[in-house]
Structure 1
Amino acid sequence: MTSSGRARALVAGYCALLTMIIVGPLAGSGYLLLRDAVSTPRSFLTDSALGVGAAAPRAVPQDAVLAVLSPVIDGGILVKAILIVALWSAGYGAAMLARQFASASTGAQLVAATLALWNPYVAERLLQGHWSLLAGYAALPWTALAAARIRTATSRTESGDDAGADSRFGFVASLGGWAALTASFAAAGLTPTGSLLAAVIGLALVGRRAFLPAVALWIVTCAPWLTATALGSGAEPSDPAGVAAFAARAEPWLGTLGSLAGLGGIWNGEAVPASRTTPLALVGTLLLLGIVACGVRAVWALGRDGRALLVIAAVAIVLPALGATSWGLATGEWLVVHVPGAGLLRDTQKYVALAMPAYVLCAAAACRTVTVAARRLLAHDPEASAAHPEIRDDRTGFRPAAILFILLLTLPLADLAWGVGGAVRPVHYPAGWQQVVDHIDAPGDTAVLPAGMFRRFPYSGTAPVLDPAPRILPNDVLQTGELRVRGYAVTGEGNRARTVEQALLEGAPATELAALGVGWILIERTTPGPLGAAEKTLTTAELKYQDKDLALYRVPSPTLLDIATPAQRRTSAAAHLLWAALLLTGLIAAAVRPDRTGARRADRAAAGNRVD
């Protein structure tokens, strides 16, 4: 193996080690069930999974992916595998970004990988259960690499220098770049927010000549959620109360701007590591920003790519901070009321992920800044210079700088380790859930009690979790979509679900529920929540199954209400198939046409100017 191959293997292994330190508990058996994260043994391709049900299509295409694959591979394994691969890809992609853009050698690449993986954003989104958003986060450095490769290759193809040699290279590299960009856009598009994140990075770096084709490519990779939004209820305006509820939050001693600059500030104060509630939040943020600041000048000097990423990072921090001000909240409320789909923007802290590519480049460049400063100091102190020949030797570089930076990045956030202090761990469902699935053998939507979308089961820990029923049951589950966040009641899009829930709480007869399309009623007995007078309703329904955890009732002769037409289902399914085809072909084509020339160029530059 060549020296560059050994270096890449070392970086890849380091990223794998760091990933397993973070999510080690998930290596055990069980399912991820924490706040918004719900994995189940199997899920079904319902209208909701396709994004054409009654609720907004916020979980497409991820729900459809799990529904299609979980009959073959256990759904819990799928979710854990996607999360682990995403985190590893984020770290390794950050290292490759530093190697290609900043000619960083191995030590500096490890610093970049550490910053990408070990930061408050990753910790908070893990605690919030946003495993699929982290897939979009992981795609950002790869999107930047692909876009820059396309721009460079397009320029060479059009210039046609050296009797066509560069032109031919440019054409081949362009094909590989487009394949990589396709894979990056599609992978990020596991969620709508991830797709938007990748679009910002990719379209900013792809260059003027390739801009319109890149826009078209991105739109095609958005087919599942764009189609679902057009066909379903997702085009309805979101509740403006959600803007204030999901605004970025100021962490102790930092303020909103400082929290965001430190890659923190999630709206949910309970989904933060314990260290972020102590003065360590200030210490960690100052250290992070200090490391980044040391490399800003060098990244700016990289040219167009470095400057674009720095500007994006600044905007991604400042705009969410402004969004938390009174006039920012008013603007956000206007947008979600008048602009369809603007509800995607209400959790503004998500978009701080856009700062990551610039941050990792700055951290890698900071290694060289410290190295140069150390050499200048030693040049004026012969005795110290003689005592530390490794600093003076360009062949060895200044490895202590990388080690120091890694320690400074990880120690203030030490509780990110092992599932953020054990909070991110697998759980096991009671056997009754499978019994309920087996007993649902007739059409009709399912109504669930207690009322509300969140649960606190004895087996799921102390944090609230989304009700697993919509993802574990074979029929569509009616949910209101209403959330209670930071004292705000945020209304969802489930109008029929609200009518059904209210009827249950008032004890309406089963015939009234049947007219609303309800064929089943599930009672989750081990979680708190309002039941109202539902016992009256249950006396008019047929008990099909019960145990200490669950009770399932059959509502006779439900009216079958098709929220989605067969044509809508086919259209949505075709959009999902298109997305999957783009993801797979993009990954395969990118693997077949790697950027070997660019890699060799980066290796030569790094070897001549090491920053270990």
Structure 2
Amino acid sequence: MPPVYALALSLLVTAPLLAPGYLLLRDAVSTPRSYLSDAALGLSEAAPRALPQDFAVAMASQVLDGGIVVKALLVAGLWLAGWGAARLAATVLPDAGVPGRCVAVTVAIWNPYVAERLLQGHWSLLVGYGALPWVAATVLRLRDGSGGWWPLPFWIALAGLTPTGALLATAVALVGVCAPGAGRRRWQVVAATLAALLVTAAPWLVAAAVSKSLAATVSGSMASGVAVFAARAEPGLGTLGSLAGLGGIWNAEAVPDSRTGLFAVVATLALLAVVAVGATVAVRRPAAVPLLVLAVAAVVFPALMATGPGLAAVEAIVRVLPGLGVLRDGQKWVALAVPGYAVAAAGVVVALRGRVPVAAVGAVSCALLVAVLPDLAYGVGNRMVAVRYPAGWSAAADIVNADPRPVAVLPPDSMRQFDWAGSAPVLDPLPRWVRADVLSTGDLNVAGTTVPGEGGRARAVQELVMDGASARQLADAGVGWVVVEADGSALDLPVAYRDDDLAVYRVGGDATSSPHRTLLIAVHVAWLALLAGSGLAGCVTLWRTSGAKIAVPLRRRLRRGPDQT
């Protein structure tokens, strides 16, 4: 029942994406095909934020359309979040039964965090989010001796589609280790967790080391965006209240309409009421205590990071250790509260048992949580839909792919505004659609403030293009193609393709590939082997367990003989 309910909620949220087309919304970019360019392997000027995600999609899109791959992973991430929350509730509060597990499913899927991250386009982060309750349940089962090892590396590797996901999963695992138990020792679970993290993090750690992309950020490009990406207070709640309600994303435009007014207060109170009532039961279960403590910390610390002293501290840390630029978006760490919230919410049926039928408590709680965030349904109020690329994009990609040389792109910003893709801006799709490396500055304009990226070379090349440099000058700078998107500007360069949406200019320059490609492919393959290997081990274990459950009663029946049955 809970897995089916979780799937139903997930499909209700993502319904518009089930239509043909591609997810193209802010940071979410899907294309028919992706390739293992240097950028997809993290061998570019930009910090390796999308590893091993880009590698995984590039490999999968050789078999399936890339749009299907991304949409399937997004739906799977939400489904796993709900199903995992039910599994976690069953591990910690078995007496909550199916009604309590369904409440946990609702909290994990139907909340502002999911809505805001969908609108921001963070589909791969939501895959990692979906793995968190499974990580918590796995560690608790290891501690009490009822579970095996294989799920731990699998869920950490799956969460590790992005660096943030890997860190979130590791944090949940290390906190879960604090739970009491007579099973696996704490040091063993910690060692296994860190080993899985090392393999999972290797793609972006190695990419950052060999490309020196993090060294380029020491000048302050990472630190300059700390204030811009801090958690944001919602109407009537303040920053702490917004985060406690699992909201407060930095981008005010990536917020469901129901959270833009004082109704956000009602919604937050409803969520916290369910969690608080259930927490009175959950806090008495030793296995739940570490997760509840983590939930409180996951709300309080991002709130502190959004204060003046907190912003100064984060900025100082990022200037000294640029690799910790992942801390800038403080609200995304609120995901760490969800396992604790799910367990506490499941406890509401236990807390009210004896006074109200448990089925009624479960049904009312689920209905209440859905009712206070009505516009999460159907693609967050139909703001997340499948779109189709104009034919010219495919034609332009084919031209570049036939002769994959470095590409310079205009306009200079990383975000684009396409009439055919809706009203929200979107990251440039071109870098994920061509074999060639696309020179991108990584500059981001947020509410009139430009947060500079790490693409120094791309910035210099774009300035050459905008200053009217000749084809010879651009070729000498290592540019093979110039693509102009969206703004319709015409350049005095040889035209290879042009339509109303974009223009492709042939320049002819070239640049050598990174000498570290083989190394980066190897560490990505190691991550994939960890994911696939642990997943296969799990399938074998489940098959043997299921076979044993069937075989034992059968043997007993055969021993009794047909006349004794």
Q: Same fold (TM over 0.5)?
A: yes
Q: Quick one: which of 266, 273, 288 aligns to 1:290? A: 273
Cα shift readout 1:340-391 (whole Å, capped 9, x = no counterpart): 311111001000000000000000001111224x2xxxxxxxxxxxxxxxx5
Contact 1:517 1:561 in 2 (8 A): no
Task: Determine if contact 2:406/2:510 at 8 Å carries over to the other structure.
Answer: no
Q: Secondary structure at the match of 1:522?
A: strand
Say which SS state the counterpart of residue 409 (structure 2) adopts. Answer: strand
**Distance (Å, rounded) in 1 between the aligned partners of 2:160 and 2:195:** 14
Structure 2: distance between partners of 1:240 and 1:152: 43
| 1:283-338 C-alpha deviation (Å, 9 max, x unpaired) | 010011111111223222111x3111111111111111011111111011111110
Q: Does 1:460 align with 2:421?
A: yes
Conserved? CA contact 1:22–1:420, under 8 Å: yes
Question: Out of 142, 145, 152, which is 1:181 matched to?
Answer: 152
- Which residue of structure 2 lines up, in the alignment, with residue 130 of structure 1? 122
Distance 1:116 1:260 in 2: 15
Checking the alignment, whether the CA contact within 8 Å between 2:412 and 2:441 is kept in structure 1 is no
1:60 corresponds, among 19, 27, 51, to: 51
**2:169 maps to amino acid:** A
CA contact (8 A) 2:116 2:247 kept: yes
Work out which of the residue numbers 462, 487, 506 in structure 2 matches 1:554. 506
The reply to whether residue 570 of structure 1 matches residue 518 of structure 2 is yes
CA distance in 1, matches of 2:193, 2:32: 37
Query: Following superposition, which runs of at least 4 residues in structure 1 exceed 6 angstroms of deviation?
Result: none
Q: 1:64: Cα distance to partner?
A: 1.1
The letter of the residue matching 1:232 is S
Aligned pairs for 1:53-452 (under 5 A) are 53-103=44-94, 104-153=96-145, 173=147, 176=148, 178-206=149-177, 207-236=186-215, 237=217, 238-303=221-286, 305-372=287-354, 374=355, 391=356, 397-440=357-400, 441-452=402-413
Q: Secondary structure at the match of 1:219?
A: helix
Which of residues 476, 479, 494 in structure 1 aligns to 2:440? 479
1:47 aligns to 2:38 (yes or no): yes
Q: Equivalent residue for 1:31?
A: 22
Where 2:288 maps in the other structure, the secondary structure is helix
In the alignment, is the contact (CA less than 8 A) between 2:128 and 2:162 conserved in 1? yes
CA distance in 2, matches of 1:218, 1:353: 18
- Helix, strand or coil at the partner of 1:250: coil
Q: For 1:456 and 1:67, how far apart are their aligned partners in 2?
A: 25
Which residue of the partner structure matches residue 590 of structure 1? 538
- Choose the corresponding residue for 2:527, options 548, 556, 579: 579
Contact 2:298 2:334 in 1 (8 A): yes
Measure how far apart 1:443 and its partner are: 4.1
Between the aligned partners of 1:182 and 1:370, the Cα distance in structure 2 is 37
Residue type matched to 1:504 in 2?
V
Structure 1 counterpart of 2:558 = none
Deviations 1:364-420 (A, max 9, x none): 001111224x2xxxxxxxxxxxxxxxx5xxxxx521101110111010100000000
Q: Deviations over 1:414-442 (max 9, x none)?
A: 00000000011000001111111221232
Q: Secondary structure at the match of 2:250?
A: coil
In 1, Cα distance between equivalents of 2:259 and 2:487: 29
- Paired with 1:591 and 1:353, the residues of 2 have a C-alpha distance of 28
Residue 607 of structure 1 corresponds to: none
* RMSD of aligned alpha carbons: 1.7
| Partner Cα distance (1:213, 1:198) in 2 | 13
Q: How many angstroms apart in 2 are the aligned matches of 1:444 and 1:583? A: 33
TM-score relative to the length of structure 1:
0.85
Letter in 1 for 2:187: R
**2:563 is matched with which residue?**
none
Could you list the per-position Cα deviations for residues 201-245 of structure 1 after superposition, in whole angstroms to 9, with x for gaps in the alignment? 012223234322321222112121112121223322343121001
The counterpart of 1:501, out of the listed 462, 465, 484, is: 462
Change (3 A) 1:263 1:95: same
SS of the aligned residue for 1:551 comes to: strand
Q: Which of 95-104 and 73-82 deviates more?
A: 95-104
TM-score (normalizing by structure 2)? 0.91
> AA paired with 1:497?
A
CA distance in structure 1 between the aligned counterparts of 2:52 and 2:188, rounded to whole angstroms: 30
CA distance in structure 2 between the aligned counterparts of 1:217 and 1:277, rounded to whole angstroms = 40
Residues 430-476 of structure 1: CA deviation (Å, up to 9, x unaligned): 11111112212324210111221111111101111111111112211
Query: Over residues 6-49 of structure 1, what are the superposed CA-to-partner deviations in whole Å (9 max), with x where a residue is unaligned?
Result: xxxx2111111111110001111000000000000111110000
Q: Secondary structure at 2:484's aligned position in 1?
A: strand
1:543 paired with 2:495, answer yes
Q: Which whole-Å CA distance do the structure 2 matches of 1:499 and 1:90 have between them? A: 43
CA contact (8 A) 1:38 1:466 kept: yes
SS in 1 for 2:503: strand
Query: Counterpart in 1 of 2:12?
Result: 21
| 1:447 match: secondary structure | strand
**Gapped runs of 5+ residues in structure 2?**
178-185, 550-565
Query: How many angstroms apart in 2 are the aligned matches of 1:146 and 1:261?
Result: 26
Matched residue SS, 1:58: coil
CA contact (8 A) 1:43 1:471 kept: yes
How far apart, in 2, do the equivalents of 1:465 and 1:498 lie? Answer: 19
- Secondary structure of 2:481's aligned partner: strand
Distance 2:313 2:272 in 1: 29
Secondary structure, aligned partner of 1:234: coil
Distance 2:222 2:68 in 1: 35
Deviation at 1:149, TM superposition (A): 2.0
User: Percent of aligned positions with the same letter in both sequences?
Assistant: 48
Instruction: State the distance in 1 between where 2:421 and 2:91 align.
Output: 43
Match of 1:394 in 2: none
Give distance in 2, aligned partners of 1:316 and 1:559.
47
Alpha-carbon distance between aligned partners in 2 of 1:596 and 1:131, rounded to the nearest angstrom: 33
Query: Partners of 2:383 and 2:80 in 1: how far apart?
Result: 23
- Given that 2:413 and 2:445 are in contact with CA atoms closer than 8 Å, whether structure 1 keeps it comes out as no
Segments of 5+ residues of structure 1 without an aligned counterpart are: 1-9, 154-169, 375-390, 392-396, 601-612
CA–CA separation in structure 1 for the residues paired with 2:14 and 2:426:
19
The Cα of 1:561 is off from its aligned counterpart by: 4.1
Provide the rounded CA distance (Å) in 2 between the counterparts of 1:61 and 1:516: 30
Letter in 1 for 2:362: A
User: Which amino acid is 1:588 matched to?
Assistant: L
Q: Distance in 2 between matches of 1:487 and 1:195?
A: 32
- Mapped to 2, the partners of 1:596 and 1:201 lie a distance apart of 27
- Which residue identity is paired with 2:26? R
Deviation of the 1:486 alpha carbon = 3.3
8 Å contact kept, 1:136–1:191: yes
Q: Offset of 1:122 from its aligned partner? A: 0.2
Q: For the structure 1 residues 398 and 69, does the alpha-carbon distance in structure 2 shift closer, same or farther, using more than 3 Å as the test?
A: closer
